[in-house]
Each structure stands twice: as structure tokens, then as C-alpha cells.
Amino acid sequence: MSDELALLVADVFEAAGALRRSGEAFAAAEGQTQARWQLMSAVSEEALTVPQAARRLGIARQGVQRVANDLTDADLAEFLPNPDHRTSPLLALTSEGHTTLRRITARAEAAHRVIAPKLPEEDLSGVRALLQRLTEEVRNYGTGPEEGGKTAAG
């Protein structure tokens, strides 16, 4: 089983690389980067602080701060006062940011419409469920005693 898990992890990394490259191309077609696209997506529904966005994206706060600054410099996002935390403003998209995000997302959706029919829906659902479980197990590993995983009790 361990060998199968190692092979799955290798496949996930390969798929992630291919998805990053295609995402970079979608974003570049609109003069953006994958990092900008990801952050615009993260704050598209609700304004978030940089630390909140970093946690949501699973990346370092400093990297998110740099991208947030780039987005505000390009008038794609703005920092708003945060009523809950005076020194941690909320990052929100501007109308231009929402428009740019819609254009990038439309490019990705066009690719999905070509790829999706080649992949059986039941396979996609099963893979998603497995990846969600794998993600949960990996996150839990290292948070508990001894072996690093959570115990059955906790």
C-alpha cells in the first residue's frame, strides 16, 4: 500500500505541475500571474486579511503580502479598513479586479469544457473524494502524539 501511496503522491505532483503551467498560461493571457489569479479568487467572494488569505491558500503570508501589494498597485484590489483589527486591513477586489478574474476564469472554464468529457464523472467524483481524504490525513499527520498522527480518540 505504501508504494501505491508514493505513486499517487508522485502523480498528484505531476498533475499539480501541469495544472500550474496551464493556469499560468490562462493568467498570462490576461497580463496576470497564477499567484495573482489564486489570490483574486480567494478574495473574490469576501474580503480577507492577508493572513486569512494565506491560510486559505496554504502558502506563506509574506508571499501573499507581495502579491496583494502587486494587485493593489495594479488597481485590481484595494485594502479596506478592518473593523476587527486595526493593523490588518481587508483585501478586496476592485471592479477591474472582478472583471479580470472573470476573464481568466472563463479561459479556464473553456479548457475544462474540452477536458471534462474525456474523464468519466464518476471517476472524477471518486478521485476528488480520495484526494480530500488524503489531504485530511496529511494535515492530521504531525498534529498528534508519537508517530505524528492524531489518535483514534483525538
Would you say residue 94 lies in a domain?
Answer: yes
Would you say residue 149 lies in a domain?
Answer: no
> What is the distance between the terminal CA atoms of the chain, rounded to a whole angstrom?
25
β-pair partners for 48: 91
Domains of the chain: total: 1
pLDDT of residue 139: 85
What is the Cα–Cα distance from 64 to 47, expressed in whole angstroms? 14
Name the residue range of residue 18's domain. Answer: 2-140
Burial class (CB in 10 A: 0-12, 13-18, 19+), 45: exposed
Would you say residue 147 lies in a domain?
Answer: no
Cβ neighbours of residue 92 closer than 8 Å, sequence gap 6 or more: 43, 47, 77, 78, 79, 80
pTM of the model: 0.81
Would you say residue 60 lies in a domain?
Answer: yes
What is the Cα–Cα distance from 79 to 56, expressed in whole angstroms? 18
pLDDT of residue 39: 98
Is residue 92 classed as helix, strand or coil in its secondary structure?
strand
Q: What is the pLDDT of residues 63-122, one digit of tens each?
A: 999 999 999 999 999 999 999 988 999 999 999 999 999 999 999 999 999 999 999 999
- Chain-wide mean pLDDT for the chain? 92
CATH number of the domain where residue 79 is located: 1.10.10.10
Sorting pLDDT into bands at 50, 70 and 90, what band is 153? very low
Lowest mean pLDDT among 1-5, 29-33, 64-68, 70-74: 1-5
Would you say residue 66 lies in a domain?
Answer: yes
